[in-house]
Amino acid sequence: MRFVYIVYTILVFAVSNNHGAEEEAVVNEQVKLEVKPADYQWTDFWLVRLIFNLLGYASVIFPAWIVIKYIRSSGYLDKGGHGCFYNVLKSCVQGQDADVNLGEDTEQTTQKSTIPGWLTLLICVAGLQGSYLTWGVLQERIMAHEYGKDENNPGEKFKNSQFLVFMNRILALITAWCIMSFSVQKPHTTPLYRYSYCSLSNIMSSWCQYEALKFVSFPTQVLAKASKIIPVMLMGKVVSNKTFEFYEYITAGMISLGVTVFLLSQGEESRGSAVTTASGVVILMGYMVFDSFTSNWQAELFNKHKMSSIQAMFGVNLFSCIFTSWSLIEQGGFLEASGFILKYSTFAYHVLLLSICSATGQLFIFYTISRFGAVIFTIIMTTRQALAILLSCMIYGHPVSFMGFVGIVIVFIALFLKIYAKARKVKKPVSSASEQRIGGSNKI
């Protein structure tokens, strides 16, 4: 009996030890996942950074709102005036007076354009795809990978997403200013303050896009961005009271379905690397809302004020630079970023190339929205999401399954259906108008 008791005691001890070891391993694994860097501070939490950013923007918006309201109530601009100060105030609050010959100039400019519509669309697609595919690769490199990492050094990630937004916008602002300085532009009648709405939403969508990579995997982010075409159409209904054809909803659903099939068809390795958290989901939802508002508000400005795409690019980026620079100064963001650049020279090269791609892409963004509308622009950018995943598979050797190929085919079929349906819709009124003219001449 004593022998049996001893054996039983040994077995119980061994099982409990093994169970304890398993629990300890699970705990250690959880600690590994949840452990934060040694230099992690409470101000690095995304919600805290967001609040600080919004406070920085509010410190610009609130005083500006008071000044604009005072100028309007005082009737200062109605009294008339001259000089630089008066013209600046009028441009910001009321907008410059429209030229009487503006409609004729615009009509003449349209007549001079001999480039077919399909070729213009093809150029826009190539420009957007090239710029933002490169931009996406750099974005993932900057936000999702460490700098200075080697066998003896764990490396360090860049944390300040707002600085990247500022760098993108300042180069785009300079680009727009140079183009406006060396080219003939139509008279600008849009009150500058109206750009601040889509500028703020553009800043927030870009910030959410960068910040989300800290919490979700790149495929998860791409999936959310690819599915935003439905929010864009819904936002168009709210902002501009737009109506959409049934085929537009069908093609939007097909594109979202195709991208979803492609992403979900990736192997277990891709799905296993996804670190989806509640914070990441909230940030991605914010991105979709802000980005949908931005494209629709810009389209509304183009329809109402008829400014050029370069003028819109300058106005949006002007306010973006004002908002982000003031917020960065208040938080010491420039000092933080400068220290990181001095420490890792590769980061400076990546940020410069990222900004160049962003500025080039914005040129195509504004022109595409003004020429083809927000939905066509979103379809192009949605297709880019699938190509971004495909490019990632080519660079990193990820296999593309048969269902992944099916997803890509669905996306491109939807795109061509959209273009075909839009072409038929444009062709019908022209044919009807021709028949009316022929009928009228017969009556005469």
pLDDT digits (tens, 9 = 90+) for 200-231: 999 999 999 888 888 876 666 776 666 666 77
pTM of the model: 0.72
User: If pLDDT is split at 50, 70 and 90, which confidence band does 113 have?
Assistant: low
The residue among 135, 63, 13, 31 whose CA lies nearest residue 384 is 135
More confident residue, 431 or 53: 53
Residue 7 has pLDDT above 60, yes or no: no
- Phi/psi of residue 156, each to 5°? -145, 135
What average pLDDT does the structure give for the chain?
75
Residue 240 has pLDDT above 80, yes or no: no
Q: What is the mean pLDDT of residues 115-135?
A: 86
The residue among 39, 131, 88 whose CA lies nearest residue 381 is 131
DSSP state of 37: -
CA dist., res. 186 & res. 106, Å (int): 8
Assess contact for 111 and 185: CB atoms under 8 A: no
What is the reported pLDDT for 334? 94
User: If pLDDT is split at 50, 70 and 90, which confidence band does 355 have?
Assistant: very high
User: Measured between alpha carbons, how far is residue 415 from residues 255, 406, 421 in Å?
Assistant: 8, 14, 10
Beta strands in 266-378 (DSSP E): none
The residue among 56, 55, 94 whose CA lies nearest residue 78 is 94
Residue in the structure block whose two tokens are 């085929």: 247
Percent of the chain with pLDDT over 70: 72
Residue 361 has pLDDT above 80, yes or no: yes
CA dist., res. 38 & res. 36, Å (int): 6
Residue 425 has pLDDT above 90, yes or no: no
pLDDT one-digit tens code per residue, 38-97: 455 767 788 888 999 999 999 999 999 998 888 888 887 777 767 787 888 888 887 776
Q: What is the mean pLDDT of residues 362-374?
A: 79
More confident residue, 37 or 8: 37
Residue 350 has pLDDT above 90, yes or no: yes
DSSP 155-210: -B----HHHHHHHHHHHHHHHHHHHHHTS------S-GGGHHHHHHHHHHHHHHHH
Residue 100 has pLDDT above 50, yes or no: no
